[in-house]
Each structure stands twice: as C-alpha cells, then as structure tokens.
Amino acid sequence: MPNSVLTPQASDFPQWYQDILNKAELADNGPVRGTMVIRPYGYSLWEHVQAEIDARIKAAGAQNVYLPLFIPESYLRKEAEHVKGFSPELAVVTHAGGKQLEEPVVVRPTSETLFGEVMANWIQSYRDLPLLLNQWANVVRWELRPRMFLRTTEFLWQEGHTAHATQEDAAQYARKILHEVYQDFFNNVLALPVLIGRKTRKERFAGAANTMACEGMMRDGKALQMATSHELGQTFAKAFNIDFTDVAGKVQLAWTTSWGSSTRILGGLIMAHGDDNGLRIPPRLAPIQVVVLVVRDEQGVGDRARALISEMKAAGIRTQLDTDVSSSFGRRATNWELKGIPIRIELGPRDLAAGNATVVRRDTAAKSAIPLQGVVAAIARMLEEIQANLLAEATATQKKHLTDVKTIDQARDAAQEGFARLPWLVLGEAGEAELAQGGITVRCLQRPDGAISKSEDDPELLAIVAKAY
C-alpha cells in the first residue's frame, strides 16, 4: 500500500523522480542553473558508491592522483576532435586576481588533456608501463536541460586513464575495468544486472577505437548508461606525445585507455529500485542497513533498542536509532521507507513483553515478529536475502522488458516500453539513424550470450536498442 507521499510511478515517472529527490532528502537545486546541492543522505549514498568503486579500482592496480580544476584554453585545441565534442559545454574563467587573464582558463569538462600531459612527462621507458591512473573530482559541462544526478552542469565522477606498451595490454585492461570494477559493482553491490557491450561508431566516444558500456534498465523501461570504458588506440598518445623507449631502445607510441563513472549512478539507483513508497537501497550499498524505531519509550524499550543497536554494530551491521517519539509513528515509518532503509525494526512495550522485535523488510513490505533472542543473526541473513531479491527483481524486470525482434519496425514498437534486441546486420547504421528519429538509440552491441565481442565486425552481434536518459 503506497504511503501517498510520492506521485505514483505509473502515473508520472519523471514527477515521481522529482518527488523522491525532495522527499528522501537527496538533493536540491543549486543557485546556478544545473548545479546541485547533494544533501547529507544523498551524499552518504555517494560515499558508499565511491568507496566500493575505489576499492575495485585499487584492486585493479590503478593509483589515484589529483589534477588541477583549471586548464589553459589552448590545451583544448591540442586535440581537435576533442574540442568539437566539448566547446559549447565549457565554462570559461576570464577574470581572476582582480583582473582580466592574459589567457582564459577552462573549468575542466574532463581532465583528459592534463592526463595526456602528465603521462607524457612521467613515462620514459617500457619500465614505466603500464601507467594506471585514476582521479575522483568534480567536472563541469554546461547543461541546457539539466536533470538532477542524470545530467547536471557540475557532477562528481572518477576518470581513469592508462597507458600501455601494447594494443593487447590496453584492450585487456579496458575490459578488466569494465568487468571487475563496473559490472561487478553493479551486479554485486547495486543489485543491477547491467547489459554490457560495444558502442556503435555513432555512439562511440570521440577519438576512441572502441567504447564499451554498462547499460542499466530503469523501472520505466528506459536505459541509463551507468559507466563506460574506452580503448583509445594511439590517438591520444599521438596528440599528447605519450611515447616510451622499448626494450630494444626504440621509441614507440603508447596505447591508452580511459574509463569513467559518475554521480549519475545515484540516478540509476533511484530509478532501478525505487517504488511508489520511495527508495529501496540494496543492503551492501546502504549507509543505514537497519533502523530501529522506538515505538514508545516505556518499560525499558529505549534501553533495549540501544542494546540492540550495539549488538548489530558489533556484528558489522550499519544501524540508526530513531527515538523521536514526539513525531507520529506513521510519519517516522514513512520517512524511513522513503529513504529506502532495507530493514526497519519496530520496538514497543508490547514487542518487548512478547520477547519479540517487529521486523519490516523494505523490498517486500513483509512484516514479521522475530524473537529478540537471536535477532542479530536473523537480520544479517535477511540483509543478504534482500540484496539477492533486489537483484532478482531487477533481473526479472529486465527480462520482461527486453524483447527479441526481427525488424526495425518491431524494434521501434518494443522500445516504447523497454529494450529491443535484434541482429546488428538487420539494423545497421541506416536502421540506427532511422530509429534515432524516434528518440531510440543503440545502447550496445553484444554477442548472443551477452558477452563483449572481440571485433566490431562480428556477424553474430546483436543490437540492444532503447530510449535512454
């Protein structure tokens, strides 16, 4: 039964999204168009996303650096193709220190040019390769149609940039990041079964030899690109003079990759799992996994609740105590539902007398009385069940709204409320252009078993097409 705080998803999904940003206290608009104020709860979600992705990036051997926010305007002319992609989106500082600058500086839309420069400086010989770098930072791309978390003028992200001695090594590393960092995080933490594949020539990152992406399905059937990993060939190495002396003493151009993910992931989290009662945060990601609500602080309930919190903390469960008995119980329960806390434990004098805790799962709304004796172990098991159930639900949704079709017309129909899959040989670049007129894009090309193909000319490639955020 919906708590009626939010517009129902079925009646107006975009309005539901706006409502939840506000009611779950995730983000406000900043005073400059397209910028966002990420509120404490929204930011704690980002901190957990960041920690999980960062641990995987480090496990993949990359090291974090910090490059400057400001880039001389001239740098963006080094790589013509690159500028074409970005210039209307740039924010330019023309005045600083109380006067006009001799050369304007650009607020980074990415740090690509600076990564190019430092890699060229830091790499001398094959012994310096591979050089595996990553950065967590804010970037700015002026947005005309901003949408919180999905497309904002300023956003937070990580961008990895690596240089390798061989094409094979670069190709392998770009796939390693796609699978071991992004896909693993989406599947095992975000509980989202992303589709992976190559981008078409049209959708590819400017200058990339191969762009690979993780595409998530939102609950309105639209696609959200959650992360990308690019093989850049030698294009960027050429533009930035990233070369090295090989074992034989010969100077060679390096092969580079880049890969990124951003606060957009929070948009995906909201739209892939949220329902008419609010967010549903997968337990492994949740800043608060269990909230304990003191129904009435009588007959030792408060003390028992605090003891329960301690027991759960000792078991490594992330908890929050709510003793705000001066607010109505219904309002408090609704608030924690909106925030998507995986488990709510309600503790009142009657529960205590019966030796039970009332436990409510956010994913299914199932309510049960669990003996306080042994409740911590039961909660730990339930958190794992919720994690698995959210993944199973999202997988079922994806399956239900992914239709295999044979023609472009069928694809157009199916993409009105989900993903359509058809042979790339049937669609082709002409079909891609035709679908684009209806706002439908090729999200990725993949092998029949869902794997990434080694070649873009693989005749078995299937195209996944959909409307996208």
Between 13 and 142, name the residue whose CB sits nearer to a second copy: 142
**Residues in binding contact with a second copy, number by CB under 8 A:** 53
CA distance 256 to 245: 16
C-beta neighbour count of 413 within 10 angstroms: 13
**Residue 319 amino acid letter:** T
Answer whether 37's CB lies under 8 Å from 155's CB. Answer: no
Which residue in 94, 364, 368, 373 binds a second copy (CB under 8 A)? 94
CA distance 320 to 281: 15
Between 36 and 415, name the residue whose CB sits nearer to a second copy: 36
Between 95 and 250, name the residue whose CB sits nearer to a second copy: 95
CA distance 150 to 171: 28
310 touches a second copy (CB under 8 A): no
Residues 22-51 contacting a second copy, CB under 8 A? 28, 30-32, 35-40, 43-44, 46-47
Between 92 and 354, name the residue whose CB sits nearer to a second copy: 92
Answer whether 360's CB lies under 8 Å from 334's CB. Answer: no
Which residue in 20, 105, 170, 174 binds a second copy (CB under 8 A)? 105
Closest alpha carbon to 418 in 434, 433, 396 = 396
373 touches a second copy (CB under 8 A): no
Which residue in 10, 80, 96, 354 binds a second copy (CB under 8 A)? 96
CA distance 352 to 200: 60
Six token digits for residue 23: 């009611």
Residues 150-169 contacting a second copy, CB under 8 A? 153-154, 156
What residues have CB less than 8 Å from 400, skipping those under 6 apart?
418
Q: If DSSP codes are grouped into helix, strand and coil, which group holds residue 283?
A: coil
CA distance 228 to 146: 21
Span interacting with a second copy, options 59-67, 185-193, 234-242, 415-423, rule CB under 8 A: 59-67
Please report the beta strands in 249-329, taking only residues with DSSP state E, as ranges in sequence order.
Answer: 251-253, 255-262, 290-294, 319-322
Cis peptide before 146 (omega within 30 of 0): no
Which residue in 22, 85, 107, 434 binds a second copy (CB under 8 A)? 107
Span interacting with a second copy, options 102-110, 335-343, 354-362, 403-411, rule CB under 8 A: 102-110
407 touches a second copy (CB under 8 A): no
Span interacting with a second copy, options 82-90, 208-216, 299-307, 348-356, rule CB under 8 A: 82-90
Q: 3-class secondary structure for 146-206? A: CECCCECCEEEEEEEEEEECCHHHHHHHHHHHHHHHHHHHHHHCCCCCCEEEECCCCCCCC
Q: How far is the CB of 217 from a second copy (least distance, A)?
A: 28
- Per the DSSP assignment, residues forming a β-bridge with 158 are 136, 261
In order of 92, 256, 264, 413, 452, the CA distances from 212 in angstroms are: 31, 14, 17, 26, 8
63 touches a second copy (CB under 8 A): yes
72 touches a second copy (CB under 8 A): yes
Q: How far is the CB of 429 from a second copy (least distance, A)?
A: 29
Between 60 and 415, name the residue whose CB sits nearer to a second copy: 60
Between 131 and 452, name the residue whose CB sits nearer to a second copy: 131
Residues 428-447 contacting a second copy, CB under 8 A? none
Span interacting with a second copy, options 65-73, 253-261, 278-286, 395-403, rule CB under 8 A: 65-73
331 touches a second copy (CB under 8 A): no
How many residues are given for the chain?
A: 469
Which residue in 121, 310, 364, 373 binds a second copy (CB under 8 A)? 121
Closest alpha carbon to 445 in 423, 421, 463 = 463
What residues have CB less than 8 Å from 224, skipping those under 6 apart?
150, 215, 216, 217, 218, 264, 267, 268, 271, 272, 468, 469
188 touches a second copy (CB under 8 A): no
Span interacting with a second copy, options 10-18, 115-123, 366-374, 401-409, rule CB under 8 A: 115-123
97 touches a second copy (CB under 8 A): yes
Six token digits for residue 167: 């094409």
321 touches a second copy (CB under 8 A): no
Q: If DSSP codes are grouped into helix, strand and coil, which group holds residue 339?
A: coil
374 touches a second copy (CB under 8 A): no
Which residue in 7, 18, 64, 234 binds a second copy (CB under 8 A)? 64
325 touches a second copy (CB under 8 A): no
91 touches a second copy (CB under 8 A): yes
Between 122 and 399, name the residue whose CB sits nearer to a second copy: 122
CA distance 141 to 123: 30
Answer whether 90's CB lies under 8 Å from 106's CB. Answer: yes
- Binding residues for a second copy, rule: CB under 8 A, are 28, 30-32, 35-40, 43-44, 46-47, 63-72, 75, 87-98, 104-105, 107, 114, 117-118, 121, 133, 137-138, 140, 142, 144, 153-154, 156
